[in-house]
Amino acid sequence: MPGGMSDRTARAWAGRRVWVTGASSGIGAAFVRALVCGGARVVVSARRLDRLEALRDAAPGASVVVVPVDQDDPAGAAAAARAAVAAFGGLDTVILNGGVSQRSLALDTSLDVDRRLMTVNYLATAALAKAVLPALLAQPQAHLVIISSIVGHVGTPYRSGYAASKHALHGFFDSLRAELPPRVAVTLVCPGFIRTDVSIN
């Protein structure tokens, strides 16, 4: 199957309504291609509309809908969530993948950079989750997936602000998982290094 997805896994996604943030490149775009191959209907969000539109145009039928999201502005989370829910009349799975990285010594990293990392990676992700939770709670079974990083567990050199933002995600979503009923699963995914544009950007 395209995207490394088995036949069994592909069948599991058939008909599912999925929202993927950070969908314009890297892990997010790979998710979208695999989900569409598996028969899911997917809402794609990020800032780069041209890349989102390319994903939509490459998908069959009306299986992909574009909803712009700028995670530099968490105040837009509620409107984005409403649009994502409305696209297919509800959501079964939400994959919160948007974020930015950083590579510099802590001593050389300005507080403005730390603040942006926390805004984009943590605050915006938490805001999107809070905004979409009522729609997930309305489903008999739903899944909230957060793409974190191995540095959400263990900090590494040159990644102080990035690691802090990912640690914040773990604290928030581990607590949220304990608060939610079992019908809404919460999963933190922690990849190691993956060759995507996030390191370049």
User: Annotated active-site positions, please?
Assistant: 162
71: which 2 tokens?
Answer: 């995670």
3-state SS assignment for residue 145: strand
CA 119 – CA 124 distance, rounded (Å): 6
Could you list the beta-strand ranges (E) of the chain: 17-21, 41-45, 64-66, 93-96, 142-147, 184-189
CA 158 – CA 193 distance, rounded (Å): 14
Task: State the burial class of residue 43 (Cβ atoms within 10 Å of its Cβ: 0-12, 13-18, 19+).
Answer: buried
156: which 2 tokens?
Answer: 């590494």
